[in-house]
Amino acid sequence: MKPRSVSVSSHSRPEETGAALRRIAELAGELGVELRLSPGEVRKHGEIPGAVEVSEDDHETDLAVILGGDGTILTHLRRYAGTGVPVFAVNYGAIGFLATVEPSEVEDGVRRALEGDFDVMQLPVLRAEAADGGRLAVNDISFHRRHNGRVAELAYSVEGEELGEVRCDGLVVSTPAGSTGYNLANGGPVLAWGVEGFIVSFIAPHTLTARALVVAPDDTLQVTNRSSSDPVDVITDGHSVGSLAPEASTAIRFSHREALLAQAPGATFYHRLRDKFGRLSH
């Protein structure tokens, strides 16, 4: 369906994205699509002809176009999770695994998006309990020992059954979308988008028996900090969000189809994997 309105957000380097934003504004005008910008975007880019300024937390749009790398894309996938708004991303980062098109494809890609010619991939998220109401992650939730601190002692259980306690530098809980990130660096498995389940993997485990685990989507994972004195840092999608106190636990659950990622028609996870990472074997 052709969007009636589109919101555009960009990363922190407007000199890289300004020309693309202005071209998107022109395309929106040609196609009769309302262009919506937050005050932050107006401060970065100046006045954009035809744009309507809306509040920073406004979600009243049919499509979100993001100009940035995976960090910026993840921020907006979280922002629009549960709203029904697809995120269409132009890669202005290093890898851009979540991006829909590259900067050289802005003209054709965005025109097609504004005409409604795109597919939507429904991505799951992870939700972790927290005192302030919980944390949401599209890629991963991770627990890390403090800088210059002692090795973390992390226990994990599924559905109340403790499966292990590992001395390590950290533990990563990843969605299929995030399986090509931190989890992959830990030697965890790559899960194709559409697989139902999430992964537990370890950062520098101090045991030969620690193995990555794929958890069933309807099961609850609990992570416990077994240290009696040292907290561990909690990070969602690369952003520090707090800590897990000594001897405290947090529950993590898989939540289906909350984030919507716009894709070029016919695009597949496997093409994206090979395009960004090359062949997995030779």
- What is the average per-residue pLDDT within 168-191? 95
With respect to residue 268, please indicate whether it lies within any of the assigned structural domains. Answer: no
Residue 131: the pLDDT is 67
137 and 173 housed in the same domain: yes
Report CA-CA distances (Å) from 243 to 27, 143, 194: 45, 8, 31
* 269 located within any domain: no
Q: In this structure, is residue 262 part of a structural domain?
A: no
* Residue 149 backbone phi and psi in degrees, to 5: -90, 175
Do residues 5 and 25 lie in contact, with contact meaning Cβ atoms separated by under 8 Å?
no
pLDDT at 147 over 90: no
Average of per-residue pLDDT across 262-276? 88
Q: Does residue 95 sit in the same domain as residue 212?
A: no
Task: Answer yes or no: 132 catalytic.
Answer: no
Q: Are residues 239 and 131 in the same domain?
A: yes
The residue-averaged pLDDT of 79-106 equals: 94
Residue 230 belongs to a domain with what CATH number? Answer: 2.60.200.30
No. of H helices and E strands in the chain? Answer: 6, 17
Quick one: 51 and 69 in the same domain? yes
3-state secondary structure of 15: helix
DSSP type of residue 282: -
**Torsion over CA: 43, 44, 48, 54 (sign):** negative
- Of these residues, 70, 140, 233, 237, which one is catalytic? 70
Asked if 167 and 72 sit in the same domain, the reply is no
Q: What pLDDT digit, counting tens, does each position of 216-260 carry?
A: 999 999 999 999 999 999 999 999 999 999 999 999 999 998 999
Interval 184-201: pLDDT, tens: 999 999 999 999 999 999
Q: How confident is the model at residue 98 (pLDDT cuts 50, 70, 90)?
A: very high
Which whole number is the average pLDDT over 157-175? 96
Percent of the residues in the chain that have a pLDDT greater than 90, as a whole number: 85
Domain carrying residue 62: 5-117
**Is residue 48 a part of any domain in this protein?**
yes
Instruction: Locate 180 and state its tokens.
Output: 């090509």
Count up the domains in the chain and report the number: 2
CATH number at residue 24: 3.40.50.10330
- What is the pLDDT, as a whole number, of residue 279? 60
Residue 134 shares a structural domain with residue 46: no
252 and 129 in one domain? yes
